[in-house]
Structure 1
Amino acid sequence: MTNTDFDFLTGSWDSRQRRLTKVLAGNDEWYEFDATLDCQVLLDGNGVFDVLRAPERDIEGLTLRLYSPDEKVWRIWWAAKSSGGQLDVPVVGRFEDGVGVFECDDIWEGTRIRVRYRWSDVNTPHPRWDQSFSTDGGQTWETNWEATFTRRTSA
């Protein structure tokens, strides 16, 4: 059985990234930077692997997404070169009506949080991704990282 949820992400992308300067601090100051993303869809669509690079911010990370057909959910792991060889706790979720929502419980700088990744506009030329944290079990969310993607054209 072929899964097509992340087919939109296959290939090479340029991205405009935006992150909060201080997370969970009531702060509304953002910084922006450019990044690239190179993505492969594997395992009949049930595996997705990508590499994000933002040299100006010394960011390099990879994402591994694996789909469980029995559970009908994705597990998404992130690892950055700064993470000391560790994968983050996977966010878990699915796409509904063209929007993918994936969540998990984790700890941010000693604080228990709920993490949410959200993919939207996936059927447009500029898919969007964002990350949010909640300290109250998902009642309220603070978006702290946003990205808009544009497919890179061959030279």
Structure 2
Amino acid sequence: MPLSALSSAPDDFDFVVGDWFVKHRRLDKRLANCHDWTAFDGEMSTHKVLGGFGNLEDNLLKFPGGEFRAIALRAFDKESGTWAIWWLDGRFPGQLDVPVKGRFKDGVGSFYADDIQDGTAVKVRFLWSRSGLNTLRWEQAFSADDGVIWETNWTMDFTRKP
């Protein structure tokens, strides 16, 4: 049984708590003027941790070449009022991705980081939003020009499991 959340915990990510079916779309090549996408299914389950000041997202990704697991860990910093999100791909258990950091405004969470993609410095952007009572959307985009132009390279549309 999960431990209860603290009454002072933020509620920004409460909408992702629960069990979800996921429709993924991933750009075949990033930052290469590619327009070909691969679609695949997945599942996600999220629960609160850290007394509600964090959450843990467990993912099953059903890539065309085989399934794998991954997690996202989110934690809220009370002092800055921002969230940090880390990604851990089960295929590479010793490599925790650089955290994206940000906050929600007008129902959309925007999170950013500086990272490296295939030897190129990039800015990373995650966008989280609720598209309906039982539907969510996540998008990832990269920019190789310091945020002037963004290329969306992965989308996930979530439908709550009954």
TM-score (norm 2): 0.90
Which residues of 2 match residues 67-86 of structure 1 at below 5 A? 67-86=76-95
SS in 1 for 2:94: coil
Q: Aligned equivalents of 2:118 and 2:91: distance in 1? A: 15
Q: Could you report, residue by residue, the CA deviation over 1:110-131 in whole angstroms, capped at 9, with x for unpaired residues? A: 0000000001225532110000
- Structure 2 residue 138 is matched with structure 1 residue 129: yes
Q: Is the 8 A contact 2:15 2:130 kept in 1?
A: no
Query: Aligned match of 1:65 in 45, 51, 74?
Result: 74
How many residues get paired? 153
Q: Please report how far the alpha carbon of residue 74 of structure 1 lies from its aligned counterpart in structure 2 after TM superposition.
A: 0.4
In the alignment, which residue of structure 2 is the partner of 1:32? Answer: 39
In the alignment, which residue of structure 1 is the partner of 2:4? Answer: none
Q: Please report how far the alpha carbon of residue 12 of structure 1 lies from its aligned counterpart in structure 2 after TM superposition.
A: 0.6
Query: Aligned match of 1:21 in 28, 32, 48?
Result: 28
Q: Please report how far the alpha carbon of residue 103 of structure 1 lies from its aligned counterpart in structure 2 after TM superposition.
A: 0.2
Which portions of structure 1, spanning 4 or more consecutive aligned residues, are displaced by more than 4 angstroms? none
Structure 1, unmatched stretches of 5+, are: none
- Structure 2 residue 93 is matched with structure 1 residue 92: no
Q: Is the 8 A contact 1:5 1:45 kept in 2?
A: no
- Structure 2 residue 16 is matched with structure 1 residue 9: yes
SS in 2 for 1:37: strand
Which shifted more, 54-63 or 18-27? 54-63
Q: Aligned equivalents of 1:131 and 1:83: distance in 2? A: 20
SS in 1 for 2:154: strand
- Structure 2 residue 126 is matched with structure 1 residue 117: yes
Structure 2, unmatched stretches of 5+, are: 1-7
TM-score (norm 1): 0.94
Percent pairwise identity: 41
Q: Aligned equivalents of 1:74 and 1:32: distance in 2? A: 29
- Amino acid of the structure 2 residue aligned with 1:48: N
Q: Aligned equivalents of 2:96 and 2:132: distance in 1? A: 29
- Taking a change above 3 Å as real, the CA distance of residues 122 and 4 of structure 1, as seen in their structure-2 partners, is farther
- Structure 2 residue 46 is matched with structure 1 residue 48: no
